[in-house]
Chain A
């Protein structure tokens, strides 16, 4: 298959070889998104989610203007599905998610997936692209050590104790470092007021 444009045209016409090529190209992103740390699904569960996300691209193909949009689309679909799947699994474990009191509801650990579910459900491909760019710039502007620590905290979900050990610092300093780095990242995200407003609207 030639250019991305040609590939996209072939996909729209239902060319099976083109779809196979697209699936091969998009699968790594779909799988990585399905292994979202918030969902922490097993590789086999993530594979199922990734395949499902790829098939969900089919009805959306005519709304896509470029091949790169498909990658962003499959990432948002796979992330959302993975997080929802994890929430469903936890709810099942707790007896179908039935809660009996407000305290129980507040303690419900499935609640922690809510912001991520809301964000992945509403974040468009172009917003994800812009957000990714801003995040990359913000992390690049941090000291390497602080950027690494923030990434380990956010992406790898390391605890304060683990971070203190990994970065060889007193546990009391971990919070300070993370808080300052987060403030800097937030300041950078706010350089795009429109996107920041959207994110606030999604997550409030």
Chain B
């Protein structure tokens, strides 16, 4: 069979124009001449490509019909749903990203550093010592009374009324405080409220020095000993 006749026969088969005889002839030709198989395959591929792609190429040039107006709402809803879902996805992604960054920071040592900073802060914080004094006692007594410069590591709080002084005394130690001290001139006592191990708070009293100078030295010593604990 010459090439022209073979191509015509093969095309009839591909185009569903073939008779039963054509089918038999093609089968026989392909059996007798296996090299024709590739020829047939190439024709089949060309035929299939053109049958499929030619209408698609034409579709690119189509300018009608217009989009039916009654289908617009359907399309608008699809747009809204899609972008709403996308915004939610973005939010989730953003939250996941923040969590991921946080975990990475935590695992990379940032958390340990922050924890250490907190521990150090707490250690420093609860070294704070307050010394409460009644102002009139200081004025009335002889000798130099205590001044902030005498106990730089403590905080001097001066009271000029009983009520706030009493309130201050009865108030428990704040979380950042290590101790508080006050002078009780009525009973000649020095009161010390302080934290001991494991956060336990104890209160002790000591006889108060008789003079202002003595009291100043006494308070300085107590503050220093508390600082060193």
Q: Enumerate chain B residues within 8 angstroms of A150, measured Cβ to Cβ.
A: 50
Q: Enumerate chain B residues within 8 angstroms of A200, measured Cβ to Cβ.
A: 45
Given that A51-B71, A123-B53, A179-B8 are contacting pairs, would A132 and B46 also be in contact in the complex, using a CB cutoff of 8 Å? no
Q: Enumerate chain A residues within 8 angstroms of B7, measured Cβ to Cβ.
A: 179, 182-183
Q: Enumerate chain A residues within 8 angstroms of B229, measured Cβ to Cβ.
A: none
Q: Enumerate chain A residues within 8 angstroms of B53, measured Cβ to Cβ.
A: 119, 123, 128, 131-132, 135
CB-based contact A20/B60 at 8 Å: no
Interface string of A1-37 (1 = CB under 8 A from B): 0000000000000101001100110011111110011
CB distance from A141 to the nearest CB of B (A): 14
CB-based contact B60/A116 at 8 Å: no
CB-based contact B56/A182 at 8 Å: no
Q: Enumerate chain A residues within 8 angstroms of B56, measured Cβ to Cβ.
A: 33, 36, 75-76, 79, 120, 128, 132
CB-based contact B15/A119 at 8 Å: no
Whether A160 sits at the interface, judged by CB under 8 Å, is: yes
CB distance from B100 to the nearest CB of A (A): 22
CB distance from A178 to the nearest CB of B (A): 6
Whether A107 sits at the interface, judged by CB under 8 Å, is: no
In the bound assembly, the distance between CA atoms of A55 and B41 in angstroms comes to 37
Chain A residues packing against B (C-beta within 8 Å) = 14, 16, 19-20, 23-24, 27-33, 36-38, 47, 51, 54-55, 58-59, 71-72, 75-76, 78-79, 115-116, 119-120, 123, 128, 131-132, 135-136, 150-151, 153-155, 159-160, 175-176, 178-179, 182-183, 185-186, 189, 199-200, 203-204
Closest 5 CB pairs of A and B: A14-B83, A132-B57, A32-B62, A32-B59, A27-B67
Apart from the given pairs A29-B59, A29-B62, A37-B55, 4 other A-B contacts in the complex at a CB distance below 8 Å: A23-B75, A55-B75, A135-B54, A189-B46
